Every structure is written in C-alpha cells, then in structure tokens.
Amino acid sequence: MAIVSFRTSEAITAGDAVYVSETGLAVKASALELSQASVAGVAIDTGAPGSLIRVNTDAVYTSSSTFIPGEVQYLSVTTSGAYEPYEVVSSGIALTSYAGFYLTPIGRALTTSKIDIEIGRPTFVENPTSVFLLEDTNVPFIDAILQEDGSTIKLESAA
C-alpha cells in the first residue's frame, strides 16, 4: 500500500484524482493538459486549500461511487478530479470543442465500491468531432475534407 501526504492548493474531496503541481501541492487532475493529466493518485481525505491530505497512489480504495466490477476507470474529460468508464470519457470529448484530451487510466473496479488504483501514463487522444470554419477564420490548416464515402475534396485555401 502506497499512501503519501500533500498540502492542497484547492478544495479536494475524498475520491478525487489529483496531480502534484510544480509547487508540490495536490490539485484536482484534468484530462486537458499533460501536466494535469499526470495523476499522482486518489485523495483519501477531504481538505480545504492549504490542508494536509493523504493520497492513495497504488492500493485498493473504497469509494462512495458505484462501479461495474472489472471496468477500468479513466480520468474524466468534463469534471476535474473525477474518473469514469471509457465509454463515458470518449463520448464526453465529442460533446466539447477541445482539440483532444489525455486518456489516463486511474484503476480497475474490483467491486461496486472498490477500485484498485493503478495509475497509467496519459495518452493524447484527438477529438473525433468535426471542425467548423467560419467566414472570418484565418487559420489555413485544412487542405482537404474527407467525405463519408472515403473520397476527399481538395481545398486550395482555408482562409
């Protein structure tokens, strides 16, 4: 069992996935930036900013959340500190305008209330949703449009 203690930079709730900031403080993890998606573990304690909390980095954690046994939980795209099954995470990114996110495994559910914390490395995943260019868009980064039938429409200029 690996338990470490950190001071918090913001309010942390027991069960939140946290990363360690450049200043050495625990912060709720976010899947939108690599540094914030590099999860240190799951908070065991609830704490106000500046308080000392314990963080589970590699052991079984009993949660108030309900899990499906055997399902791997990943850092949430939409809620800092939360973790969810892959289906929820992948559908959540499609509802945003983010270019992508870091898929970070938190652990595997052992029972409906226990998760084996097994933090994995963040992997960047691009957002599969469409890009919209408006008339005033001045970024020529698209050279072709892929159609559903597999053919492409070549563009001379996206500006």
The structure tokens listed for 14 are: 């027991």
Per-residue pLDDT of the chain in tens (159 residues, 90 and over written 9):
689 999 999 999 999 999 999 999 999 999 999 999 999 999 999 999 999 999 999 999 998 889 999 999 999 999 999 999 998 988 877 777 788 899 999 999 999 999 999 999 999 988 776 555 555 555 555 666 667 677 777 766 544
Strand spans (E) along 13-146? 17-20, 26-28, 41-43, 52-56, 60-62, 72-75, 83-85, 100-103, 105-109, 114-117, 123-126, 144-146
pTM above threshold 0.95: no
